[in-house]
């Protein structure tokens, strides 16, 4: 059974988004307090998401393309993006928050990887020193995407001084960074992740892979401390028993037992996302009795997080120009999500395991 099917069977919803072989999770974290000093990377737990195909009552303006998901959220949640279940050496991720790139601060104009090394992308003038533009008055990042040697995760809005400020959901529209930077009329209530493959895939020596995987899991680059890792069907996922290597051997991971991998859900039928699972998992959010003055979800810039962005080893020229996959995640407050379910019902996605052989004599 695939990871996707197991999650549905266990929870009635999905934690991991997937499209064309690429994966992503949205992590809920404590909103950190801005105390004037940078925090380590916060721990997190996976937020349940739902394929757009199961929610016919979703707004007409939302995309229905494959790889599109929806999740109900609440204000004051901190959050971060997790793409670590992908091939670290051969994946570049272009993120967007409500239509704005959170690394460069530029409005998303197509799905294009960009690097900044010679000229200012706004004024089209040479940098005076390093990546410093005199007209902007600040230094630009190395690129607008995340790839090796960086770990495949991202926590917030990057300031020109290199500081990253934590993403958090808010009811306060004045805190919405994208609305201020690119204009509210240009925003969409969604995160977007464009996944790119290199022109020439890199292969990590097996000896290095085996010797570093446990170190990578434990040190967690100074924190995201509850993150747990396992090779699942050849890729990193979550496990409580052992770390299965590609050659069939395993490494015991007793320390990961009890790792939080998301809020407890409701069991549902294998290979399906049914109305019962969605409605009951919605009830687990406890949306009753909550009233809000606004319907739109703002994404603010909170406390400073200690996260750096190293220059890509390959450079833009080393990646294919078109994304291999795009994952979209719409988000809304729980009340709107409840309205979507109430107005449009729920499409049950039941897999026909026998396919074209259904009803035919076999065995």
Cα–Cα distances in Å, from 92 out to 19, 80, 185, 305, 335? 15, 17, 29, 22, 35
- pLDDT reported for residue 316: 95
Q: Which pLDDT score, from 0 to 100, does residue 13 have?
A: 64
Cis peptide before 96 (omega within 30 of 0): no
Strand partners, 330: 70, 190
- Alpha-carbon torsion (76, 331, 47, 265), positive or negative: positive
pLDDT, tens digit, 9 for 90 and up, residues 263-313:
333 222 223 455 566 656 555 554 455 667 678 999 999 999 999 999 998
Q: What's the pLDDT at 292?
A: 75
So what's the pLDDT on residue 166?
A: 98
CA 33 to chain centre: 23
What DSSP element (H or E) covers 336?
helix 334-344
Query: Residue 151 and residue 223: Cα distance in Å, rounded?
Result: 12
- The per-residue pLDDT for 12 is 52
Choose among 315, 70, 86: nearest CA to 194. Answer: 86
At 62 the pLDDT is 97
What's the pLDDT at 359?
A: 86
C-alpha angle 144-308-77 in degrees, rounded to nearest 5: 85
Rg of the Cα trace of the chain?
21
Sequence ranges of the domains in the chain: 3-349
Report DSSP state, residue 159: P
Across the chain, which has 363 residues, the per-10-residue mean pLDDT values are: 46 82 97 91 93 93 96 96 96 98 93 89 82 81 94 94 93 96 96 98 68 38 44 29 26 25 29 54 54 85 94 95 98 92 81 82 87
Listed in sequence order, the DSSP H helices in 68-225 are 177-182, 206-219
Indicate whether this model's pTM tops 0.85.
no
**What was the pLDDT predicted at 79?**
97
């Amino acid at each position: 059974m695939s990871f996707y099917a197991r999650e549905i069977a266990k929870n009635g919803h999905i934690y991991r988004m997937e499209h064309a072989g690429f994966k992503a999770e949205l992590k809920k974290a404590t909103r950190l307090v801005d105390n004037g000093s940078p925090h380590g990377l916060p721990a997190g737990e996976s937020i349940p998401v739902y394929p757009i195909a199961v929610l016919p009552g979703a707004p007409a303006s939302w995309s229905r393309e494959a790889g599109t998901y929806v999740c109900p959220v609440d204000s004051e949640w901190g959050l971060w993006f997790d793409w670590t279940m992908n091939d670290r050496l051969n994946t570049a991720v272009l993120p967007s928050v409500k239509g704005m790139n959170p690394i460069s601060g530029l409005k998303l104009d197509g799905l294009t990887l960009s690097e900044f090394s010679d000229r200012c992308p706004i004024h089209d003038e040479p940098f005076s020193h390093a990546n410093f533009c005199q007209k902007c008055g600040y230094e630009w990042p190395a690129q607008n995407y995340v790839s090796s040697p960086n770990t495949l995760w991202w926590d917030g809005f990057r300031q020109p001084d290199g500081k990253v400020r934590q993403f958090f959901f808010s009811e306060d529209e004045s805190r919405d960074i994208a609305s201020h930077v690119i204009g509210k009329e240009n925003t969409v209530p969604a995160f977007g992740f464009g996944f790119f493959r290199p022109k020439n895939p890199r292969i990590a020596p097996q000896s290095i892979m085996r010797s570093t995987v446990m170190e990578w899991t434990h040190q967690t680059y100074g924190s995201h401390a509850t993150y747990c890792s396992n090779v699942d069907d050849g890729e990193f996922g979550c496990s409580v028993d052992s770390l299965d290597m590609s050659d069939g051997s395993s490494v015991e991971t007793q320390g990961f037992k009890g790792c939080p991998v998301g809020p407890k859900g409701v069991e549902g039928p294998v290979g399906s996302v049914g109305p019962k699972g969605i409605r009951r998992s919605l009830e687990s959010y406890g949306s009753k009795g909550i009233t809000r003055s606004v319907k739109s979800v703002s994404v603010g810039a909170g406390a400073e997080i200690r996260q750096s962005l190293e220059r890509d080893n390959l450079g833009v020229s080393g990646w294919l120009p078109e994304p291999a996959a795009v994952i979209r995640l719409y988000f809304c407050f729980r009340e709107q999500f409840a309205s979507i379910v109430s107005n449009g019902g729920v499409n049950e996605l039941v897999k026909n395991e026998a396919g074209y052989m259904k009803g035919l004599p076999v065995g």
